Structure 1
Amino acid sequence: MNLHTWHKESKKEWDVFAPMWVKNSQEMWETGSRKNIIPFFSEYVPSGVKVADIGCGDGVGSLKLAEAGFEVTGVDLSNVMIEFAKGKTAQQPELSFLQGDFYNLPFKDEEMDAAMVINSLEYTGEPLTVM
């Protein structure tokens, strides 16, 4: 499978899977497998900085980052996920969401101070390239 096919298939799969993901996302971030991510992140990254949440999914992690005092831009390959994220966080001025991917991030060099990348690298065709 070439890179273009991998990229296209990942986007398609996440667009289809998004509604199912949304059903479990909140619980994962609050009491499940992701509950310690934001406290850990906050321990090492100063609040107030600009954070790219790459592979933001439905925006729950981005929202939790914003609530912890970060200025967050979530990026996801899936347009469907981005729409879910925007719907959940419409009243949060410190949050924004963009459709995009690792291969062509919508940021200028050094525009962001930090990045959070959860459950994303495995959906790229060339993880070392995007790192």
Structure 2
Amino acid sequence: MNQSSLWKKAVEVEWDDQAEVWDKRAMNMWENGSRKDIIPFFKKHVNKRSRILDVGCGSGYGTITLYDAGYKIDGVDISSKMISLANRRLHDRKITFFQYDVNDISLLDKKYGAVLAINVLEWTNTPSQALNELGEILEKNGLLCVGILGPTAGPRAHGFRHVYGENVIINRMMPWEFNQLAEESGFSLVDHFGVYKKEVNETVVNHLSLNLKQALSFMWVFMLRKS
């Protein structure tokens, strides 16, 4: 098994193990926590005529929230347990949830007007490859909303053992690096915003340069357009 396959399997196992805990936290995260501004931001830029794909949909809370807001949407996650939990939420909603790794997403053989991928690329072995896959499923001029964990995000601790030469399943790409990657991959920046921990004084942060803002962030959210 090559490095990419080992990474993929380790990520799948990790999120299968975390699925129940994630599901219990999902509502608060999307309604009151670090993701509370993402859906309003998404709705600001993406019209409801677009077909949407939620990549890294987890147990489906964000996917279903967008469906209930009037979007036509599908969901994808690497974890079979997450997909099972998402399907339990469906009831009569017309959403299809697929189990796919982001690096294989073009195998869906579908095109979407917009893609949502929050905290997905951090868990890939080669973010450039994953970003290219997301571009493959976007229609021309389609929109891609990506959230990248900043330096202050707790999940970054998963990468610490890298300093001892151990294998880890989260890469070290920071928001400012993703911004450059997106530009080099043919995406144009439409809009963006930062998410901070409550201890950060945003009035002070607003006077800082973009790189310093991102250096203090829990997450940075980008809206990109495919050229």
TM-score, normalization by structure 2: 0.55
Q: Which residue pairs with 1:96 in the alignment?
A: 96
**Partner SS for 1:113:** strand
In 1, Cα distance between equivalents of 2:103 and 2:119: 16
Q: Which residue pairs with 2:28 in the alignment?
A: 27
| Paired residues of 1:75 and 1:97 also in contact (CA < 8 A) | yes
Q: Which piece of structure 1 moves more, 34-43 or 99-108?
A: 99-108
Q: Which residue pairs with 1:130 in the alignment?
A: 130
- Post-superposition shift, 1:107? 2.6
Q: Which residue pairs with 2:61 in the alignment?
A: 60
The alignment of Structure 1 onto Structure 2 pairs a total of residues equal to: 129
In 1, Cα distance between equivalents of 2:49 and 2:25: 28
Which residue type is aligned with residue 53 of structure 1? D
Which residue type is aligned with residue 39 of structure 2? I
Give the RMSD, CA atoms, in angstroms. 1.3
Show structure 1 runs of 4+ deviating over 3 A: none
- Per-residue CA distance 1:59-108 (angstroms, 9 max, x = gap): 00101111221111100000000000000123212x11010011111432
In 2, Cα distance between equivalents of 1:41 and 1:73: 15
Q: Which structure features the higher share of strand residues?
A: 2
- Post-superposition shift, 1:119? 1.5
Q: Which piece of structure 1 moves more, 4-13 or 99-108?
A: 99-108
Structure 1 residues 80-91: aligned runs within 5 Å = 80-91=81-92
Q: Which residue pairs with 1:114 in the alignment?
A: 114
Q: Which piece of structure 1 moves more, 75-84 or 119-128?
A: 119-128
TM-score, normalization by structure 1: 0.93
Which residue type is aligned with residue 44 of structure 1? H
Structure 1 residues 6-25: aligned runs within 5 Å = 6-25=7-26
In 2, Cα distance between equivalents of 1:22 and 1:126: 27
In 2, Cα distance between equivalents of 1:82 and 1:121: 19
In 2, Cα distance between equivalents of 1:85 and 1:19: 11
In 2, Cα distance between equivalents of 1:79 and 1:48: 29
> Sequence identity of aligned pairs in percent?
36
In 2, Cα distance between equivalents of 1:90 and 1:127: 34
Consecutive unaligned residues in structure 2, runs of 5 or more? 132-227
| Paired residues of 1:48 and 1:69 also in contact (CA < 8 A) | no
In 2, Cα distance between equivalents of 1:44 and 1:72: 15
Consecutive unaligned residues in structure 1, runs of 5 or more? none
